[in-house]
Amino acid sequence: MIRATLRDAALIVGLAVGLAVVYNAAFSVKPLPWIRKPIALDTASTDVLLAVIPSKKADTASASPRPLAWQRDTLPLQKRAAEDEKTPPSKQQSSGVPTSPRLPPKNDALPPPDGGGVRAVTYQQVLMLLRNEDVLFMDARRKDEYDGGHIPRAVNVDIQQFELDPTYRSQMMQHLYSLDKRRPVVTYCGGGNCELSHKLADVLRSVGFEHVFIYTGGWNEYSTKPDSPRER
């Protein structure tokens, strides 16, 4: 009796597995891969990182800066006349009001968002980004792993709890929405095939963050570097 029951159970399990394999291979719109592959990302260049890092400028509240040429064309006439008094005659425009305002040159324009692309950063780039306090770091690992050691200033967003606990997810979403979305943010987890940092990056993009990067080496690489600053 017991043998017959076990045989029937094994037959049902085998049949279910066989049907699942056939469906995944032949009929599924997004078939699951047989071998888990790491997610490939383009590595951000240093020029890209420097372009999105907010620059620290001296406090000039007492002395307003002179507008750029393209900004001057959009000033009211009275303000424009006042600016002309500060400008040497040789540099003033010979004609009156321009027929159409000039567009700002590329060098004066703010860096645009990444256009939806999340990019990877290396260990050396992480050290560079740590020197700027405007760059956010977010640790996607479990809280106990985070408490055991993490990158300085990193905020813990436990993605596993985020997916399972509606209360925690609501609190985290409220916190993320309160942040300046123009600030660059770096996510990380254990590294290697860990997908938690990628899931967190998707969440950040969904709430409007413009510049999202993933430290793919993760804590596994960072913690082995003797010169890496860390917090507990």
Kindly report the CATH number assigned to the domain that includes residue 135: 3.40.250.10
The answer to whether the beta carbons of residues 123 and 217 sit under 8 Å apart is yes
Q: Is residue 59 one of the residues assigned to a domain?
A: no
Rounded Cα–Cα distance for residues 101 and 106 (Å): 15
Same domain, residue pair 133 and 77: no
| 211 burial type by CB count under 10 A (0-12 exposed, 13-18 middle, 19+ buried) | buried
Residue 91 and residue 117 share a domain: no
**176 belongs to a structural domain:** yes
DSSP class of 38 = P
Q: Which helix (H) or strand (E) holds 116?
A: none
User: Residue 12 has what pLDDT?
Assistant: 81
Within-domain flag for 232: no
d(CA 45, CA 169): 33
Residues 6+ apart with CB under 8 A from 182: 54, 210, 211
96 assigned to some structural domain: yes
Answer yes or no: is 227 within a domain.
no
**Judgement on whether residues 95 and 186 belong to the same structural domain of the protein:** no
In this structure, the answer to whether residues 175 and 138 fall within a common structural domain is: yes
229: in domain: no
Query: Cα–Cα distance between 103 and 106 in angstroms, integer?
Result: 9
**How much is the pTM?**
0.62
**pLDDT tens, residue by residue, 118-161:** 999 999 999 999 999 999 999 999 999 999 999 999 999 999 99
What's the pLDDT at 63? 39
Which structural domain range is residue 153 located in?
46-54+109-222
Cα separation, 209 vs 183, in Å, equals 8
Q: Are residues 78 and 165 in the same domain?
A: no
Question: Is 62 a domain residue?
Answer: no
- For residues 160 and 203, give the distance between their C-alpha atoms in angstroms, rounded to a whole number: 13
Number of domains in the chain: 3
- Are the beta carbons of 135 and 54 closer than 8 angstroms? no
Whether the CB-CB separation of 36 and 193 falls below 8 Å is answered with yes
- The stretches in the chain having pLDDT less than 70 are 1, 17-39, 55-116
Tell me if 37 is assigned to some domain: no
Three-state DSSP at 197 gives: helix
